[in-house]
């Protein structure tokens, strides 16, 4: 199972609390903590909270493609990058997919 390690600031956003409450939540639930090489302390989220965190993260950072053409161009670029044949029919039928926000 994948591990999600988050900073206290990210926990504040997840729970909508202040720094002291985030720290208390981590200690109270006995989540594993580590000081990372960047100097920040991160806590490992349990699986159910990790899933919630990732859905929230994706919701904030993903926006819909504006058109089927934009999606098709992105798919063609990926196909070129990975050496796969481009499938235009598939690209236009899946135009509701999301792209990375800038």
Tens of pLDDT, residues 46-95: 888 888 777 776 666 555 666 777 777 777 777 787 777 766 545 444 44
Q: What percent of the chain has pLDDT over 90?
A: 13
What's the pTM?
0.50
Query: Per the structure block, which two tokens stand in for 56?
Result: 């929230």
Pairing of strands 98-100, 33-35: unpaired
Helices (H), the chain: 8-15, 19-28, 47-61, 68-82, 88-93
Q: Looking at residue 42, what is its pLDDT? A: 92
Query: Distance between CA atoms of 99 and 15, rounded to whole angstroms?
Result: 26
């Amino acid at each position: 199972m994948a591990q999600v390690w988050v900073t206290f600031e990210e926990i504040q956003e997840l729970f909508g609390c202040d720094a002291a409450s985030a720290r208390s939540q981590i200690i109270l639930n006995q989540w594993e903590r580590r000081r990372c090489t960047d100097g920040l302390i991160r806590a490992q989220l349990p699986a159910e909270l990790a899933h919630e965190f990732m859905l929230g993260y994706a919701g904030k950072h993903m926006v819909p493609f504006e058109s089927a053409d934009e999606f098709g161009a992105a798919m063609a670029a990926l196909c070129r990058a990975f050496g796969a044949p481009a499938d235009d029919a598939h690209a236009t039928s899946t135009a509701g997919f999301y792209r990375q926000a800038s």
